[in-house]
A and B are shown apart, each in its own frame.
Chain A
């Protein structure tokens, strides 16, 4: 029961940007007019609510839905800044073991019928929480960074995703470090992982600021990365679009060249 419109955002290694990616792709898709629900599967260590700035509005959570204490509709938090974006928060005081894979699959299947896209924010690691998060997803976004540890974990995760369509998002690339030979390049990563690259997101301090403020960069027109996530969102839903034109300052110019090399 894996629905075509259920995507898991995963990585193996923590701290590579799963939650930020989920929030921003979700917001970007909603901005494109899609009905999107973001599911926080990190039970016990939820953070998607913080990144979206919705932490104060949580009443029910995913475990309440699964255990039948509320209707799915009651647990969904509607983002007031943008139409069509919803969050299904994780429980904070429960354990990941309190949910089974089949329960999770059942729930994402129900959501898949009501939304254009269901994005599941996977916890770090490959334990029970990971297995729950991928249970109902037919597609995966594997977030990685140009760092040996993150690449190794991404490789391990790709091997655990079975028949799911998995695409790689390279996060936090620093063009100046790639140039100086201190960081793996996009080509290096693609070669090692041997998978389709969904997109490339440069390392940018505005992400830290946006995360701490609970304001996804996509929702702020002044932010540089908004366009990057929009393109990634459209590719995710199957559009075949070339890599986006980026603002023409030094750092971005280099990145654009790198992206051109990808095609």
Chain B
């Protein structure tokens, strides 16, 4: 019973392998999470029957990544769903965790809202097993969702409980992507508790950048966050009405892991409960796939928007971010 989901994942590995080949043009590397060499026959590869896998594996833990932002509505949930999808297509076992107790939305964005039986609080409180709570994606067998409770409060989870839950997920998945709620209250503290990595999502707007700066400050020390700049509209940047990539990096000084263009594809996809990475020809979807590849260690260049807006540079020099905008670029 406990390994039900593992078995489903294992049987799906071959499909995912094919998908991975189209993603990076080469055969998929063995998962870093496959059982250690002491049990070569107990691989999670498609050839190995699931029954042969030992129950108490000594495995390398998966990567727990929190997707956060401070400000709401910048695209955390969309980023989580799409990176999860793209990583699953790359042959990784992925669980996306909705940490927005009381205002869950990851299930809607993934089109899984009607399949929810139990949620993370049920697991934490011992009312359900992880297998009962995990919802497998409709299309990708390597991808699962751990939904949040909708009628409960964020204060009902303690960071320690969340940490234990994430640790358990890390034993079973290559990636645990945690969709953080907006704000910096208890829900935020819970969402970051179990993560070893963080991705801060921001948009090229002063308020979003300011909040991202605040969150980066709250994370620093524990985690070195990476940055996704979401919803860039190149024509607005050109006109000088929107911050460009350099402006944002000057202020935040975080490692940039991707730039995602604004696209109504995302609204369409969200309302349909399908990931935008599945929309053929979508630039936004392609950007998410590149970010997933970078998370897996590929050195893909990030296309730079070189237009600089002088009045923004001036304005930011005077904004109370505690960091001065640099002289880089011109």
Mark A residues whose CB is within 8 Å of B: 12-16, 19, 44-45, 47, 50-51, 55-56, 92, 95-97, 123-129, 147-149, 152-153, 156, 174, 177, 182-184, 205, 208-209, 211-212, 214
The answer to whether B74 touches A15, judged by C-beta atoms less than 8 angstroms apart, is yes
The answer to whether B185 touches A15, judged by C-beta atoms less than 8 angstroms apart, is no
Q: Does B73 make an interface contact (CB < 8 A)?
A: yes
The answer to whether B185 touches A127, judged by C-beta atoms less than 8 angstroms apart, is yes
The answer to whether B241 touches A149, judged by C-beta atoms less than 8 angstroms apart, is no
Task: Compute how far the CA of A12 lies from the CA of B155 in the bound complex, rounded to whole angstroms.
Answer: 16
Q: Hey, what's the 0/1 contact readout for B50-85 against A, CB within 8 Å counting as 1?
A: 000000000000000000001111100100000000
10 CB contacts below 8 A, A to B, read: A47-B210, A92-B214, A96-B183, A126-B153, A127-B153, A149-B77, A177-B268, A183-B271, A208-B242, A211-B206
Task: Compute how far the CA of A12 lies from the CA of B267 in the bound complex, rounded to whole angstroms.
Answer: 18
The answer to whether B207 touches A19, judged by C-beta atoms less than 8 angstroms apart, is yes
Q: How far is the CB of A63 from chain B (nearest CB, A)?
A: 15
Q: Does B205 make an interface contact (CB < 8 A)?
A: yes
Q: Does B19 make an interface contact (CB < 8 A)?
A: no
The answer to whether A149 touches B207, judged by C-beta atoms less than 8 angstroms apart, is no
The answer to whether B320 touches A208, judged by C-beta atoms less than 8 angstroms apart, is no
The answer to whether B271 touches A212, judged by C-beta atoms less than 8 angstroms apart, is no
User: Hey, which chain B residues are within 8 Å of A149, CB to CB?
Assistant: 77, 105, 108-109, 270
Q: Select from chain A the residue with minimum beta-carbon distance to B155.
A: A127
Task: Compute how far the CA of A13 lies from the CA of B102 in the bound complex, rounded to whole angstroms.
Answer: 11
New A-B contacts (11) at CB < 8 Å, excluding given A56-B318, A147-B267: A13-B103, A14-B182, A44-B214, A92-B214, A96-B183, A124-B181, A125-B183, A148-B270, A205-B236, A209-B236, A212-B241
The listed residue (A45, A51, A127, A177) touching B211 by CB distance below 8 A is: A45
The answer to whether B242 touches A212, judged by C-beta atoms less than 8 angstroms apart, is yes
User: Hey, which chain B residues are within 8 Å of A182, CB to CB?
Assistant: 264, 267-268, 271
Task: Compute how far the CA of A252 lies from the CA of B125 in the bound complex, rounded to whole angstroms.
Answer: 52
Q: Does B187 make an interface contact (CB < 8 A)?
A: yes
Q: How far is the CB of B99 from chain A (nearest CB, A)?
A: 12
Mark B residues whose CB is within 8 Å of A: 70-74, 77, 102-103, 105, 108-109, 150, 153-155, 181-187, 205-208, 210-211, 214, 233, 236, 241-243, 264, 267-268, 270-271, 273, 312, 318-320
Task: Compute how far the CA of A47 lies from the CA of B187 in the bound complex, rounded to whole angstroms.
Answer: 20
The answer to whether A45 touches B214, judged by C-beta atoms less than 8 angstroms apart, is yes
The answer to whether B182 touches A124, judged by C-beta atoms less than 8 angstroms apart, is yes
User: Hey, which chain A residues are within 8 Å of B150, CB to CB?
Assistant: 156
Q: How far is the CB of B271 from chain A (nearest CB, A)?
A: 5
Q: How far is the CB of B96 from chain A (nearest CB, A)?
A: 15
The answer to whether B70 touches A147, judged by C-beta atoms less than 8 angstroms apart, is no
Taking A47-B71, A148-B270, A182-B268 as contacts, is the C-beta distance between A96 and B206 under 8 angstroms? Answer: no
User: Hey, which chain A residues are within 8 Å of B187, CB to CB?
Assistant: 125, 127
Task: Compute how far the CA of A56 lies from the CA of B74 in the bound complex, rounded to whole angstroms.
Answer: 25
The answer to whether B185 touches A129, judged by C-beta atoms less than 8 angstroms apart, is yes
User: Hey, which chain B residues are within 8 Å of A92, CB to CB?
Assistant: 214
The answer to whether B73 touches A45, judged by C-beta atoms less than 8 angstroms apart, is no
Task: Compute how far the CA of A68 lies from the CA of B271 in the bound complex, rounded to whole angstroms.
Answer: 47
Task: Compute how far the CA of A216 lies from the CA of B278 in the bound complex, rounded to whole angstroms.
Answer: 38
Task: Compute how far the CA of A177 lies from the CA of B268 in the bound complex, rounded to whole angstroms.
Answer: 9
Task: Compute how far the CA of A51 lies from the CA of B242 in the bound complex, rounded to whole angstroms.
Answer: 14
Task: Compute how far the CA of A209 lies from the CA of B240 in the bound complex, rounded to whole angstroms.
Answer: 9
Q: How far is the CB of B108 from chain A (nearest CB, A)?
A: 5
Q: Select from chain A the residue with minimum beta-carbon distance to B73.
A: A15
The 7 A-B pairs of least Cβ separation, nearest first, read A14-B72, A15-B73, A124-B72, A14-B182, A124-B182, A47-B207, A149-B105
Task: Compute how far the CA of A55 lies from the CA of B316 in the bound complex, rounded to whole angstroms.
Answer: 12
User: Hey, which chain B residues are within 8 Å of A47, CB to CB?
Assistant: 71, 207, 210-211
The answer to whether B186 touches A127, judged by C-beta atoms less than 8 angstroms apart, is yes
The answer to whether A205 touches B241, judged by C-beta atoms less than 8 angstroms apart, is yes
The answer to whether A15 touches B206, judged by C-beta atoms less than 8 angstroms apart, is no
User: Hey, which chain B residues are within 8 Å of A208, CB to CB?
Assistant: 205, 236, 241-242
Task: Compute how far the CA of A149 lies from the CA of B103 in the bound complex, rounded to whole angstroms.
Answer: 9
